[in-house]
Structure 1
């Protein structure tokens, strides 16, 4: 059985390769043939992820989509998670999660595989919901922490990174030309693909304002 490995980390400071050896070992132990690996640094709250979309385009019915944990695949809203699930189902892929044993058994054919597939689907939905809630709680904690600091010191400002104006301008220029793909714009501008998607979204919001 063919397997496509998907590895994701949220930021450039995190290592998307971290779980690669674990997935390779799992695939070998389960007799899966790894046909490709897809790695990217982008938030799991975004449905449109270049490498994930490339995986879904390349995969064939009956192939395995192998991930380390559900939160590596999704921290999506309920609506976006439903869309992603439908995309996976429409391609006829088997979602296998290393830290979710029921997904391993769902690779089996026949009645046992079908029953475990239903159970596994329910568990994956639950874990996807928990991953999204964990993300929302983390964001809320950060927001509360910033509010407390501002209340204690009205002059305080976060020391976050300032936007690189040259990079921002270059991305807008190449997006406006419409001749390059998102990945090519990122390469030319010297930034991540996630940054290009963010700026494109901001451009759309400004246009619609």
Structure 2
């Protein structure tokens, strides 16, 4: 059994070091050590996560996926959540989180004797589904409130539109200049091809000037 920690931040500016230290401490409290870390900066509402897919691909049967919070995995639409669960189930990977005590059993291999373990796995699966639904609803509620705020600002003539993420655009430009492909940049930054194409177009215009 290997423990593989998955760390996700929704923007490039967020730092995963705090979460990493927290998970290391949690594992040590249970007499365990984390074998590998997978970190990416990508929205929790999408299943397009190269590092998460790499984690699953590199995992052996029965490994553990350790996350600080369930919503690091589960802020997905129901269809995407079902797809992710199928990928995890295909290798019998267990999701463990400090915020979900029923998941901690996976860290203790003393109880390999069947019935109790099966019951707790069933309870844990139910809890995961419930937390996934809560995470998705929280995400949708925040998006709805955000849109309401934008519409109100528009009606009052105060809305200036979404401002460009200059730091991310600079990072994309740097990767383009060093010969990285669109797909490689997507994997590194978790950004859209549309944004990469926009930066590439600006580069061409600037070079031609």
- Fold match by TM threshold 0.5: yes
RCO greater where, 1 or 2, for CA within 8 Å and sep 6 or more? 2
Taking structure 2 as the reference length, what is the TM-score of the superposition?
0.79
Q: CA deviation at 1:28?
A: 1.8
Aligned residues: 187
Does structure 1 residue 141 correspond to structure 2 residue 145? yes
Within 5 Å, which residues of 2 pair with 1:30-45?
30-45=30-45
Q: CA deviation at 1:197?
A: 5.0
Q: Residues 100-119 of structure 1 correspond to what in structure 2 (within 5 A)?
A: 100-107=100-107, 108-110=111-113, 111-119=115-123
Show the counterpart of 2:79.
79
Unmatched 5+ residue regions in structure 2?
Answer: 199-209
CA distance in 2, matches of 1:60, 1:197: 32
Alpha carbons 2:7, 2:40 under 8 Å: kept:
yes
Runs of 4+ in 1 over 4 A off after TM superposition: 197-200
Provide the secondary structure at the position in 2 that maps to 1:38: strand
| Cα RMSD after superposing both structures | 2.7
1:136 aligns to what SS in structure 2?
helix
**Native 8 Å contact 1:16 1:41 kept in 2:** no
Q: How does 1:143-162 map to 2 (within 5 A)?
A: 143-151=147-155, 153=156, 155-158=157-160, 160-162=162-164
TM-score (norm 1): 0.79
Structure 1: stretches of 5+ with no match in the other structure? 203-209
Name the CA distance, whole Å, in 2 between partners of 1:197 and 1:163.
Answer: 15
